[in-house]
Amino acid sequence: MKAVIQRVNESSVSIDNKEVAKIGKGFLILLGISKDDNYEKADYLIKKIYNLRVFSDENDKMNLSIQDINGEILIVSQFTLYADCKKGNRPSFINAAPPENAIKIYKYFIDECKKNNLNVQTGEFGANMKVQLINDGPVTIILEN
């Protein structure tokens, strides 16, 4: 499982020119699910994300978590995080989970994130989405397990 976490001032997702999700200060999470991923790996990643201290404290040091600032989260499924470009110029996605498996873990990830009492918004699994963001910093963290 891979997560590209971007600290944002705001972020939104649109499908067919219609905004379907929008957040303020918090995290935009691009989530990639591999064929080897499971709920245990999702739990580990969620715990790590919720405890990442990447928001500024009163001394302008990255010392606060998303929970500390009561931030918001936008989760977008992105199988292309598992692109394999070693051979040729066309990426292979053989390591990405098949959609019927990935959607189960994606939904589980969302449901577990919502249990932490923060505003959690999502894109739409499998849709062609337009993602907008104002990256804060910029701060971008890549987590993988």
Candidates 27, 79, 109, 122; catalytic one: 79
Is 140 known to be catalytic? no
Q: Mention every residue, 6+ apart, whose C-beta is less than 8 A from residue 23.
A: 8, 10, 11, 12, 72, 73, 74, 119, 121
Residues in the chain, overall count? 145
CB 30 within 8 A of CB 13: no
Is 79 known to be catalytic? yes
Of 56, 81, 65, the residue nearest 118 (C-alpha):
65
Candidates 6, 78, 121, 122; catalytic one: 78
Is 132 known to be catalytic? no
Residue numbers annotated as active site: 78-80
